[in-house]
Amino acid sequence: MSRPQPDPVLVTPQVLRDWRLPEPTGGKDARGSILVVGGSTETLGAVLLAAEAALRSGAGKLQVVVPSKVAPHVSISLPEALVRGVPSTAAGAIRASSAELVLDLAESASAVLIGPGMADEEETRGLVEAMLPHLQGPVALDALGLAAVTADPGCLHHLGGDVVLTPNPAELAISLHADPAEVDADPAGAARRLAGAAQAAVGLGGATSWVAAADGRLWEDQSGGAGLGVSGSGDVRAGVVAGLLARGAEPTQAAVWAAHLHGRAGERLAARVGKLGFLARELPPEIPRVLAEVDL
């Protein structure tokens, strides 16, 4: 007989004030180093969005790994970052064989985000599978970075729960080998299933955001709005998660805070720009303002 699952916690500013983020003192090293791995020649913007969001969330140092073909463009667009270009396929995706070059940076990072804008499922899965045994955590996996989890949820167990997965509903269905309608009917239950199978925190976006912990705990965040359903929005949210991990938040805390920061950033833009029509690139600058709001 299965034990009853705990009721979800509704996320409010007061809930977050009672669950304060780490407040490191000192220079950029004290605020953690984030490594963002992703992109392709066709989806470079996803990396830029995630990387800026990580810094806006309080991470101190930024490192980015992208296909070598686009590395110069990233260096110009992200002057704050150390940018490493690695070998790519003819179609412009990061090769799985680049794992050793990526690990060289990952081993010194406070947190690693893999997935935004990545292309070629087979190569991405191979890259993640080659890296995971050497990572100590925390790790965030987004978008195609979840391919290794889809193949084997147990691939993360050695990290002891120091992982956040940030799927959208379609990616969650793929990871669970489930029908999308099944996830739509019970998104909270689906997030719990993946969290339990992968032994990771799962942050699921949507009209209502759900964060599930591996032990069955669940958080519900109703902030946001229809305007957040726009290209690049999920990349920003993944970047916020990673930035919070880098500054010392534990995985469920990073996922819960990211859901609210992302949602409130969308609400602020909806009030100023309109309910629809604001852009994902406008979200990161709102993150520090929302952080200040919560601290009031």
DSSP state letters, 178-212? --HHHHHH-HHHHHHHHHHHHTSEEEE-SSSEEEE
3-class SS at 1?
coil
Q: Which amino acid is at 115?
A: G
pLDDT number for residue 25: 67
Is-contact 225 267, C-beta < 8 A? yes
Which residues partner with 67 through β-bridges?
A: 86
Classify residue 38: in a domain, yes or no: yes
Which residues partner with 202 through β-bridges?
A: 165, 212
pLDDT number for residue 26: 64
State the average pLDDT over residues 258-266: 98
Confidence class for position 295, pLDDT limits 50, 70, 90: confident
pLDDT number for residue 296: 73
State the average pLDDT over residues 134-142: 95
13 burial via Cβ count (<10 Å: 0-12, 13-18, 19+) = middle
Q: Is the pLDDT of residue 249 over 90?
A: yes
Q: CA 77 from chain center: how many Å?
A: 20
State the average pLDDT over residues 174-185: 97
Residue 209's nearest CA partner among 137, 154, 267 is 267
Range of the domain at 221: 25-294
3-class SS at 34?
strand
Report how far residue 256's alpha carbon sits from residue 2's, in angstroms, rounded to the nearest whole number.
26
Supply 152's token pair: 């084997």
Classify residue 53: in a domain, yes or no: yes
pLDDT number for residue 246: 96
Classify residue 49: in a domain, yes or no: yes
Classify residue 83: in a domain, yes or no: yes
Classify residue 9: in a domain, yes or no: no
Which residues partner with 33 through β-bridges?
A: 61
The CATH number of residue 161's host domain is 3.40.1190.20
Give the chain's domain count.
1
pLDDT number for residue 1: 47
Confidence class for position 191, pLDDT limits 50, 70, 90: very high
Distances in Å between the Cα of 49 and the Cα atoms of 11, 45, 101, 213 are 25, 6, 23, 26
State the average pLDDT over residues 210-226: 97
Q: Is the pLDDT of residue 6 over 50?
A: yes
Q: Which amino acid is at 195?
A: A
Is-contact 226 266, C-beta < 8 A? no
* Residue percentage of the chain with pLDDT more than 70: 97
Phi, psi of 214 (to 5 degrees): -60, -25
Q: Is the pLDDT of residue 199 over 80?
A: yes
Classify residue 188: in a domain, yes or no: yes
Report how far residue 79's alpha carbon sits from residue 58's, in angstroms, rounded to the nearest whole number.
17
Taking the CA atoms of residue 252, residue 253, residue 259 and residue 265 in that order, the dihedral angle to the nearest 10 degrees is -160
Classify residue 244: in a domain, yes or no: yes
Classify residue 6: in a domain, yes or no: no
Q: CA 187 from chain center: how many Å?
A: 18
Q: Is the pLDDT of residue 3 over 70?
A: no
Report how far residue 53's alpha carbon sits from residue 56's, in angstroms, rounded to the nearest whole number.
5
Report how far residue 280's alpha carbon sits from residue 263's, in angstroms, rounded to the nearest whole number.
12
pLDDT single digits (tens) 21-65:
998 766 666 689 999 999 999 999 999 999 999 999 999 999 999
Supply 170's token pair: 């379609």
pTM tops 0.85: yes
pLDDT number for residue 207: 87
Is-contact 149 156, C-beta < 8 A? yes
* Residue percentage of the chain with pLDDT more than 90: 93
